[in-house]
A and B are shown apart, each in its own frame.
Chain A
Amino acid sequence: GIQVEQSPPDLILQEGANSTLRCNFSDSVNNLQWFHQNPWGQLINLFYIPSGTKQNGRLSATTVATERYSLLYISSSQTTDSGVYFCAVNYGGSQGNLIFGKGTKLSVKP
């Protein structure tokens, strides 16, 4: 099956700093989503981005499908950005379910 690898596994930032999270995947994908899991466990949709670039406020994401990676950019980080960021993909071998990476744990210090 497909492999989804996220880096870095852990990231500590000072409030106001910028960061880039990376997701590599080993096969062509139909769907790629970025999620933020808050401390209470809720998975919050950030982007649906199988290809191209999208922006939403301080967050943006880029997926280069031909090179099998996606990047999530967080600018001017805030303490509320803390949590775990997951990349998840759907590919031809999985009918509909998402395959998740292990996540990047982000801690933003005041």
Chain B
Amino acid sequence: DTGVSQNPRHKITKRGQNVTFRCDPISEHNRLYWYRQTLGQGPEFLTYFQNEAQLEKSRLLSDRFSAERPKGSFSTLEIQRTEQGDSAMYLCASSLRTSGRTDTQYFGPGTRLTVL
């Protein structure tokens, strides 16, 4: 069990550029979540996948944001035409959801995005 990994750990970009982040979950986990955390706040949910299906999206996830989990393993989160308000820590979590049991989520180290 190598834990949840995220790349890159830090990203600095100019306003208007596109960025893409990657998350590799714990290998046997079927659920993958994306959260965003701004300074002084708790993480806020963006979206989640069960296997390759995207099951829920938050209202925080504007049209500029898109997430994929093409083979039910790793996931990517893309932000198009970045804005300064997108600056935040982007956190990925994974869990193993089995029937009749609520899952424990394990978080990766995050990708810190700074939009200049």
The chain A residues found within 8 Å of chain B, CB to CB, are: 30-31, 33, 35, 40-43, 45, 48, 50, 86, 88, 90, 94-103
Q: Is the interface of B mostly helix, strand, loop or mixed?
A: strand
On whether the beta carbons of B42 and A96 are closer than 8 Å, the reply is no
**Choice from A30, A43, A50 contacting B43 with Cβ under 8 Å:** A43
On whether the beta carbons of A90 and B109 are closer than 8 Å, the reply is no
User: Chain B interface residue count: which class?
Assistant: 20 to 34
The chain B residues found within 8 Å of chain A, CB to CB, are: 31, 33, 35, 37, 40-45, 48, 50, 55-56, 58, 89, 91, 93, 95, 97, 102-107, 109-110, 112
- Total A-B residue pairs with C-beta atoms closer than 8 Å? 63
Tell me the smallest distance from the CB of B3 to a CB of chain A, in Å.
10
On whether the beta carbons of B110 and A31 are closer than 8 Å, the reply is no
Cβ–Cβ < 8 Å partners of A90 in chain B: 102
Complex CA–CA separation, A75 to B106 (angstroms): 24
